Structure 1
Amino acid sequence: MTAFRFSLALMALLSLSACITSPMYTSRVEARYPPAGEFVSFEGEELHVVRRGEGRPVLMIHGASGNLREFSFTLAPHLEDAPVELIMVDRPGHGYSGRFGDAYELGEQARAMAAAVQAGGGEPVVVVGHSFGGAVALRFALDYPELTRGIVLSAPVTHDWGSGGVTWYNKIASIPAIGHAFSQFAPLVGPDIARSSLESLFSPAPVPEGYAENLGVDLLFRPPNFRANAHDLINLRDELSVQEARYARELNVPVVLFSGTYDTVIKPSLHAARLRRDSPDHVVLVPLEDEGHMPHHAKAALIAETIARLARGESVQTSDFLNVTG
C-alpha cells in the first residue's frame, strides 16, 4: 500500500471511530450533566432556562465555550439572600438550548434572551454578561431598553478588536460540511485540552476547586455545540463592528464593568476602556489588578452586591470601588 493510500485509510478509520465515539460521548455527558431548568419555546427550538429566587429579575448570560452553569455555583449563591429572581439561560446552541437560523447574530441572541425574560413576566431586568455574554448583554440593552434596568459586565468583549483572536480549530469547525466532520473529533481531545487551559484563563486568580465539573465543560464537545460555538466566534468581529457604533448614542442605562488587568483572553484596552470612552456618563469601569478573564468567581461577593444594588434601583459610582481598585 502506498503512503497516500495508507493515509486515506487511516483518515477513514479515524473518521469512523469518531462517528461511533461521538454519540456515546454525548449520551454519557448528558447523563452526567442533565438539564436543570425549564424549556421556553422559541423559533421552533427550545431555550433552557434556570430560575432561582424571588424578586427583581436578573438575566445572566454566559460566554463562549460555556453554559448557564458558569454562574450557578459561585456567583448565584451570593445572591440567594437578595430579593432577586435569577434567570440563567443557555445561549442558542449551548448547553441545552436549541440552535436556530442566524443564531450567531448578536441581535438574534438578544432576541432569544428577551423571550426568556418575557416568559417570566417581562419585568425590566439587570443584565449580567461574561465575555461573549457581555456583547449579548449590551445588545439586549440596545434593542430592548424597555426591558433593561441596568448592566453588570465581567471581562466583556465589546468592540471589533482588529485581527486574530479565533483559533484554527474554530475556523475549521465553522466551515460547511468540513466542519461537521471535523467536530466529530472534538470529544476525543477537547475535554483534556479544555481542562489544561483553565489556569491561564483564571490567572493570576486561582481556578476554583471543581470548576470543570461544576461547569460541565464536557458539554461543549458534543459536535453540534462545538460547531455552534465556532460559528459564534467566527462571526463576532463583524457583529461587533456594527454594534459598537450604537453605544455612544443608545446606551442609556447604568453599566458597571469589572475588568481583570491580567486578562489574556481579551485586551481590556480594546474593550473595557473603549466602552468607557464611548459612554462615559453611563459606564463605571472597575479594574481588578489581581484578576484575569474570570473575575465573577473570586470577586463573586463584590459583583453580587453590585447586581443587587442595581436591582434595587440604587446608583453605583466609581468612588464606590476605590478600595477595590487601589
Structure 2
Amino acid sequence: MITVSLVALSGLGLGACVSSMAYTSKVEAAYPAEGRQIDVGGHDVHVLERGPGTAPVVLMIHGASANAREFTGTLAPRLETDMRVLMADRPGHGYSERFDGAETLAAQARQMAGLLDQLAPDQKAVIVGHSFGGAVALRIALDRPDLVSGLVLLAPVTHDWGEGSGTAWYNSIAANPVFGPVFSQFVPIIGPSQMKDGISSVFAPAPTPQGYYQNSGLGLLLRPPNFRANAQDMTRLKDELAQQSARYGDLSVPITVFSGSKDTVLSPKLHAVRLKKQVPVEMVILPDEGHMPHHGEGSAVAGAIRRLAFGRQTR
C-alpha cells in the first residue's frame, strides 16, 4: 500500500510539473517581456518605458500579485505625452530577477533606486506606488531621498496591521521552503479560475474594467516561481512594515495619497490615516472606490503626478 501511494503521489507531482511548464510557456507567449532588462546590482530589472526620453520622470511600482502592466492601460496613456513613464516589475514579478533577500522592502527599494540611477541620473522622479508598491515607494524616499521629487501612493500598505487578518493560507504554504516548491506546481491548474473570480472584490464597489485580467497580464503570477516570490513578499511584509513605519517621521518629500473609503483589501484607517499622523500628507479620499483608485480615478491621479513632476527636477 505504501509503495502504491508513493507511486500515485509521484505521478500526481509529475503531472503537476508538466502542467505548470505548459502553463508557463503559454502565458509567457501571451505576455512576453516587452521592455528593457536593466542590470541592477547583478540582477535584471524589467522596465516598460513610455513617453519622451527628456521629459520629467515618473516611476510606477505595482502591488502584490501584479506586474508592470498594471499601469499600461490607465495611467501611462494619460502621462506619456509629456512625461517619461517607467513601469518596473518588482524582483521575482513579471520578468524581473529574483534573488536571495529580495523579499525585504530595502532590497526591493534598492532595485528600483538603481533603475533610476541608470535611466534618469540627472533627475528626480515622482514615485507612484500601488498597495505593496506604496511600501516600496516609501522606502525609496527614506533611503534615497535624492532620487525623489514626490510620492503618489495608491491604496498603500504602510503599517503593521496588528492582530487582525494574517497571511493567506496559500501564501504561507507557498513561502515554506520545504512544501512551497511542490505546492506551487499545482497553482497553474486551479489558480486562473480562482483569480478571475476574485478580481471584482478588489475593485468593489467600483466596476471591474472590461478585460482587466487579460490586459494586465495577471496570469504571469501563477507561474510557480512568481507565485512563490509573491508569497514570500507577503509573509514577510508585516514585520518589514513594523520596522519601516518607525522611520516615517524622517520623510521630507511631498506625498499625495489616494484612498478608497470602501477599500476592503487594506483598511485606510490602519494604513493611510496612520501615515498622515506621522508626516504631512495630501489625502484624497474617494467615496466610491475600493482598492484600485488609479483605474476609476485615473485622471485625478495623473493630475497629482503632474503637479509634483513639474516642480524642481535637477539633483
Shorter-chain TM band: over 0.9
Residue 22 of structure 1: CA displacement? Answer: 1.2
Who is 1:126 aligned against? 126
Structure 1, unaligned runs of 5 or more: 315-326
- Cα distance between partner residues in 2 of 1:161 and 1:9: 44
* Residue identity in the other structure for 2:88: V
User: Structure 2 matches for 1:163-242, cutoff 5 A?
Assistant: 163=163, 164-242=165-243
TM-score (norm 2): 0.95
- Cα distance between partner residues in 1 of 2:28 and 2:85: 23
Who is 1:90 aligned against? 89
Who is 2:105 aligned against? 106
Check whether the contact 1:125–1:311 (CA below 8 A) recurs between aligned residues: yes
Who is 1:320 aligned against? none
Check whether the contact 1:43–1:100 (CA below 8 A) recurs between aligned residues: no
CA offsets per residue over residues 282-308 of structure 1, 9 Å max, x none? 311111110000000010011001101
Q: 1:44 to 1:7 in 2, by over 3 A?
A: same
Check whether the contact 1:191–1:217 (CA below 8 A) recurs between aligned residues: no
TM-score (norm 1): 0.92
Who is 2:65 aligned against? 65
Residue 31 of structure 1: CA displacement? Answer: 0.6
Aligned to 1:224, the other structure's residue is in SS state helix
* Residue identity in the other structure for 1:34: P
Who is 1:18 aligned against? 16
2:281 counterpart of 1:283: yes
Residue 165 of structure 1: CA displacement? Answer: 3.4
Who is 2:261 aligned against? 261
RMSD value, Cα: 1.3
- Cα distance between partner residues in 1 of 2:146 and 2:29: 39
CA offsets per residue over residues 141-198 of structure 1, 9 Å max, x none? 0001000000001100000001333110000000113101110011001111111001
Check whether the contact 1:126–1:307 (CA below 8 A) recurs between aligned residues: yes
Q: Percent identity?
A: 53
Structure 2, unaligned runs of 5 or more: none
- Cα distance between partner residues in 1 of 2:248 and 2:162: 18
- Cα distance between partner residues in 1 of 2:11 and 2:170: 21
Check whether the contact 2:257–2:282 (CA below 8 A) recurs between aligned residues: yes
- Cα distance between partner residues in 2 of 1:97 and 1:68: 10
